[in-house]
A and B are shown apart, each in its own frame.
Chain A
Amino acid sequence: MTADTPVLRLADVSRRYSATAPAVLDGLDFALAPGEYVAIMGESGVGKSTLLNIMAGLDRPDTGRIEVDGRDLAGLDDDALTVLRRTHLGFVFQAFHVLPYLTVRDNVALPLDLASRPGAEREARVVEMLEAVGLAGRAGSYPRELSGGETQRVAIARALVHRPRLLLADEPTGNLDPRTATHILALLRGQVHAQGASGVLITHSLAAAQTADRILVLEGGRLSPYAARA
């Protein structure tokens, strides 16, 4: 693996749900360079979920190859894929998905706890991330005490606290008002770059997509540049 090795590479990936159904992904190629932040747009039902599942190692393609940081996912079993996600990936969901019974601090620390990082490093990283997302004063709060925007910031901090190589974000502003959404998108982009990660943002919104370095459109089972399409 060199410094130029793509963080995520999909080569000739195809996926169909039954023999008679049309392919959801059809010979799809994609490469994400280190530090790159890409938005993927597409209509409902076009296969964005399938693509994200495959990128995260949660679903396997019928054909094709997927590499994360140069590692072929095909040879990994469920445990190895889970460990890969734990160390290399971060996730931000539309519905936040923070644990209601953990404090903000513990929610953010979850990936570090799973990786059994030492206590001092854990504390330092959590403090750093909470400051980065503007929640330094809310470390002891529970999710029920937070607004939607604040909750998504917790999710962003959790997604990046273990310094993953790749962040996958699915409609991270889908449940937020436009003003808060703008803040969150800026924060997300800023933190992806600040933490030295690469990112894939799935969104319906062109405004959201425009915060990315590059915009792709998923259509007919393949990705194409947004600009080229225009």
Chain B
Amino acid sequence: MSATGTVLRAVALARLREQPLRLLATVAAISLGVALATAVFLINAGALNEFGLAARKLVGEADLIVRGSRAGFDESVFVELAGQPGVREASPALELEVAPLGETSALRVLAIDPFRAAWVQPELVAGLAPRLLDLLEPDTIVLSAAAARELGLGAGDRLELRAGTSEYVLKVLDVMPEAAYPQRLGVMDIATAQAAFGRLGLVNRVDLRLEPGADRERLRERLAELLPDGVSAQTPDVERNRAAEVTRAYRVNLNMLAMVALLTGAFLVFSTQALAVLRRRTSLGLMRALGATRGQVELALTAEGAALGAAGAITGVLLGQLIASVALAKLGGDLGGGYFEASSLAAKPQPGILAAFFLIGTAVAALGAWAPARDAARVEPARALKAGDAERAMDRVRPAWPGLLLFGAGAVAAWLPPVGGLPLFGYASVALLLLGGLLLVPAFAARVLALLPRPRKVALGTAVAQLKGSAGLAGVSLAAIIVSFSLMVAMAIMVYSFRESFEHWLNEVLPADVHLRVGSASDTANWSSGDQAIIAATEGVARVRFQRQQPVLFDPARPPVALLAREVGEDGEGLPLVRGADARLPDGAAQAWISEAMVDLHGLEVGETFDLPLAGKTWRMAVAGVWRDYGHTAGAIVVDRAWYIAATGDAAASEGAIWLAPGADVETVIARIRSRFERGETLQVASGSAVKEISMQIFDRAFAVTYLLEAVAVAIGLAGVAFAFSSQALARRAEFGMLRHVGMLRRQVIAMLAGEGAMLGALGVAYGLALGGVLSLVLVYVINRQSFNWSIDLAVPWLQLGALAALLVSAAAVTAMASGRAATSDSAVRAVREDW
């Protein structure tokens, strides 16, 4: 056996015999951290794969994709494109979101010329193959397997849709095989779609396949001059990336959160190993004296940590796989985030990911063990062998400067801009502040404890003295709980701030008594001018305000932004403005109020002008104000509806708001409106309070996973405190024995330990609160802003945090008492006499 193996056997196996339950609990905690991280990653990876696959199927083998706004552009553009030198095939398409009757989610429809599409999207068309010619029949559609499943339809069934406010029925010709397309989709013939949805002569996408050897970039540049305003040609990469970009920040955040549980596990290993090493200092000193080198001791102790990590990681990845399957079934691929509908997602075992997380779990545990291993290996054997060395090691308070340095670096990182749209420096800031904060714990503890007076009550007085004497150990004991609690505090403040801001925002954007829309898709389900007049004339309606919403491809490389045409009062009144124009706007430009995302993503500011592609023309707009918008992560532009109608001739409305006449009953008015329209029961009409309530429910569901992940991290942190207490109680058995000899009652010893636990817990909780408060500033003002491009106002959930803090302090006291109870058993009393 190698020397390292001998050291490992001598020091590790003894520990296994001495503390099997504690080791088991450590392994379980690591396992939990690894399981959560693996599960979240698997779910995210699965969803992203599906996004990518769906985008690839739709892009097919196109070399260039010409796209305009969803409203569409003249199909003569397609003819012109087809005749361009270098273009081998051109396939026109109309991409729309349609509203199935009674469904809350829209159905994406791709209307194609089946024969031309076969050249560009062969895989997709292959899925239609058996009924390709039948697709030319009027009013027919082929559904993807996911769409058919979710709509509860099969071949031969009727798909009822809204077109305007009227009902429109399509016959389901067939259902594509699962492999043809993984998400919700309906495929129609383009001519049918143009007729059905009032888009005669319009397309909004043309896919191009080029001649072999044609220069794609040169053709793209040439097309830029040729294409109408608001229409551009993009490469397939841009198309594919755009699909995933919508949810990227949410996913990165979720992954980071999952890593927190893993990170807490690492600090738990650090705590347990540091205390275990302290207890075994004499044995390690003996090993060194007998000839084991520093490197061998360091390696053996790190390997011990890695072994704990490996045991936890192997069970963790298997548990993670199980959690991923259950979570996908219960919460969907976005874990309740509301970004997209779950479809065919299934957590398929992915050996690569599982192996990676096994290695990460093992490495993180090894890392947690490495620092104490290094410390232990550095101690001179003579010192380690001397009685009382462990106490001396506990007394030492490390200098504060490394902590201050890291803390400072964290503060600097918080000011740096996002990288590729992600708050990477923000995450680095959190990590640096956290680590810096941890390194400052002993110095902080020493200073705070020094201020504590020593109570006259002997149990409490001894507890205070013990804490004062071991401030150096506070950082070790509290590491896991401070990490998890401070992150939980930060998350709680961020989520609470977001919730408060969101609720306030809802009250501003949903001020009316009743809100209504025809269906889930604004492309095809709209209120015509006549419909609007009917609603306005309904008995009990005092005032109505209609809004037209449509996606606009503002920057082809990014997801479309929402254009909202609505009544806007003077100076943007009625909008949740964060700032308005305080100077005169440029002449000749129409006013536009942009969301904060437009500022962050497109670099626009108040007073500046920009070009808006709309209805085949480009309009010069001036930014009159910036408003807060939690509805459109990719950005939104509000324009005055009167200006919009004049500019586009489009008087349809996708949403409406109704203020009731005095004394009118909400439900009666809603019933009257429904009765005025065909299949009125399927119209989406609800009171303002109901819409707000549903919105808040969706919000809470989106953050349910966040709370779960954080709760697990805190549970792991508490386990860390429990291990620290029990470890110390074990190490102090002789001390308790002596105290019992000199006349301290057993309950006094336990009270002393409870006091120590409560005080140490309170110290950790207070520190965690303060550190969490600092971290929350980074989350609220840096990570949230850079991830989602919207601002939120800081709000602190004092009650929630207070309750949690009290719970943790009590848990720490109870844990310490339990440890004390075990350590003051009769055999423990004799511990003092081990030398008699």
Contact = CB atoms under 8 A, between A and B. Distances in A.
Interface in B741-758: 741-746, 748
A111 B836 contact: no
B759 interface: no
Nearest to B470: A101
B836 A82 contact: no
B735 A97 contact: yes
Interface string B733-745: 0110111111111
B735 A56 contact: no
Contacts of A202: 836
Given A100-B469, A102-B462, A110-B742, A170 B830 contact: no
B734 to A, nearest CB: 6
A86 B458 CA distance: 13
A113 B458 contact: yes
A93 B835 contact: yes
A97 B734 contact: yes
Contact of B832 (A82, A97, A144): A97
Contacts of A83: 743, 745
A110 to B, nearest CB: 6
Given A102-B465, A144-B395, A111 B743 contact: yes
B742 A93 contact: no
B109 interface: no
Contacts of A85: 741-743
B833 interface: yes
B469 A49 contact: no
A82 B392 contact: no
A37 interface: no
A78 to B, nearest CB: 7
B829 A58 contact: yes
Contacts of A171: 835-836
A171 B834 CA distance: 12
Interface string B384-423: 0001100110010000000000000000000000000000
B836 A58 contact: no
B675 interface: no
A114 B743 contact: yes
Given A48-B836, A53-B833, A99 B745 contact: no
13 contacts: A82-B743, A82-B745, A83-B745, A85-B742, A86-B744, A99-B462, A100-B391, A102-B469, A110-B742, A113-B456, A114-B748, A115-B743, A143-B388
A144 B388 contact: yes
Interface residues of B, number: 33
B461 interface: yes
A90 B741 CA distance: 8
A142 B469 CA distance: 10
Nearest to B458: A113
Interface residues of A, number: 40
Contact of B833 (A49, A82, A106, A158): A49
Contact of A94 (B456, B468, B738, B835): B835
Nearest to A148: B387
A175 B388 CA distance: 13
Nearest to B735: A99
A95 B387 contact: yes
A201 to B, nearest CB: 13
A79 B468 contact: no
A198 to B, nearest CB: 17
Nearest to A93: B832
Nearest to B468: A101
A33 interface: no
Given A58-B830, A93-B835, A171-B835, A99 B387 contact: no
Contact of A91 (B387, B461, B742): B742
Contact of B740 (A82, A110, A113, A175): A82
Nearest to B744: A114
A187 interface: no
B742 A86 contact: yes
A53 B830 CA distance: 8
Contacts of A94: 835-836
Nearest to A158: B742
B466 interface: yes
B670 to A, nearest CB: 72
A165 to B, nearest CB: 13
A177 to B, nearest CB: 15
Nearest to B832: A97
Contacts of B466: 99, 101
A52 B833 CA distance: 10
A195 interface: no
Nearest to B748: A114
B386 to A, nearest CB: 11
B747 to A, nearest CB: 8
A190 interface: no
Contacts of A113: 456, 458, 461
Interface string A45-59: 000110011001010
Contacts of B836: 48-49, 52, 94, 170-171, 202
Contact of A79 (B462, B735, B745): B745
A86 B745 CA distance: 9
A169 to B, nearest CB: 11
A116 B459 CA distance: 11
B835 A174 contact: yes
Contacts of B740: 82
Given A114-B458, A144-B395, 12 more contacts: A53-B833, A82-B746, A83-B743, A85-B741, A85-B743, A97-B734, A99-B738, A102-B465, A110-B462, A113-B461, A171-B836, A174-B835
Contacts of A180: none
B835 A95 contact: yes
A224 interface: no
Nearest to A116: B458
Q: List the 9 closest pairs (A to B, CB-CB), nearest first.
A: A86-B743, A101-B469, A49-B836, A97-B738, A100-B391, A113-B458, A94-B835, A114-B743, A91-B741
Contacts of B744: 82, 86, 114
Contacts of A143: 388
A191 interface: no
A90 to B, nearest CB: 8
Nearest to B833: A49
Nearest to B454: A106
A211 interface: no
Contacts of A53: 830, 833
A100 B468 CA distance: 11
A92 B740 CA distance: 13
Nearest to A78: B746
Contacts of A175: 387
B738 A114 contact: no
Interface in B703-755: 734-735, 737-746, 748
A87 interface: yes
